[in-house]
Amino acid sequence: MRVHIKNDIPLGKGLGSSAAAIAGGLCAANFMLGQRYSARQLLAWGLQMEGHADNIVPAMIGGLTTVMIYEGRVYYQKVCIPDVIKVVVAVPEIALSTRESRAVLPENVNMQDAVANLQRACFLLASVYNSDVRNIHMAMEDTIYQPSRKGLIPGLEHVIEMASDAGAIGVALSGAGPSVAAFATGNEQQIGQAMMEAFAAKGIDSRVLYLTPYQEGIKILGKRF
């Protein structure tokens, strides 16, 4: 068998490349086997391989998802993202392993910070669901992960500030980093340029991806022989 892979997802940049590879591999193998296994079984295997389901689920089913693991099983809800929302991602040319990024996280979390993050996560989902983007910038201000990781990514605070000033409706570290993702309803080019300039001020080269959320997830193209 010969396998050809085209991958436009930067590796090791906090953009879910490993989950996309796992999802693609599982679904391709299942297709070759005549769709023998259910989507739930594929998600369970993906969870075992990736270690968490946060990226596996959207890679398989698309869109914005919220995931719950209950008694070892994967449950999720999908929220449709308004067409007006685009995503601008600045990908800096610095190396940051997931292990290194996770190592700086605190073992214990302050109750007030935990409650604040839960409130903002719920508010963010409701805002997207209701197509109300007015306060998304506040809902994307993390009080636990981002403050712990900012020391690993030179200029992170400046990148977020510059993106906001250029018109982003919300900005946050993407996954474990070092990429930074900005939500936008316009001015995407200006936002991307501002983020590049902020990284450049720290002597870091970067590139920008201008993305549109994809609602469908895995698609099988072609025929099974």
101-159 per-position pLDDT tens digit: 888 888 899 999 999 999 999 999 999 999 999 999 999 999 888 888 888 899 999 99
Structure tokens at 128: 């997207």
Instruction: Enumerate domains of the chain plus CATH numbers.
Output: 17-79 (no CATH), 86-211 (3.30.70.890)
Tokens of 194: 């501002």
When the pLDDT of each residue in the chain is averaged and rounded to a whole number, the result is 92
Q: How many residues can be counted in the chain? A: 225
Look at residue 189 and give its three-state secondary structure: helix
Give the residue, 221 or 190, on which the prediction is more confident. Answer: 190
Residue position matching structure tokens 């998802």: 65
Residues with Cβ < 8 Å from 129, sequence gap 6 or more?
Answer: 79, 80
C-beta of residue 93 within 8 angstroms of C-beta of residue 205: yes
pLDDT at 225: 61
Which pLDDT band holds residue 176 (cuts at 50, 70, 90)? confident
Q: What is the pLDDT of residue 185?
A: 95
DSSP 172: E
Residue owning tokens 């935990």: 114
**Angle of helix 188-200 versus helix 156-165 axis, rounded to 10:** 150
Please tell me the distance from the alpha carbon of residue 118 to that of residue 124, in angstroms, as a whole number.
10
Yes or no: say if 20 and 9 are a contact pair by the CB < 8 Å rule: yes
Q: What's residue 57's pLDDT?
A: 95
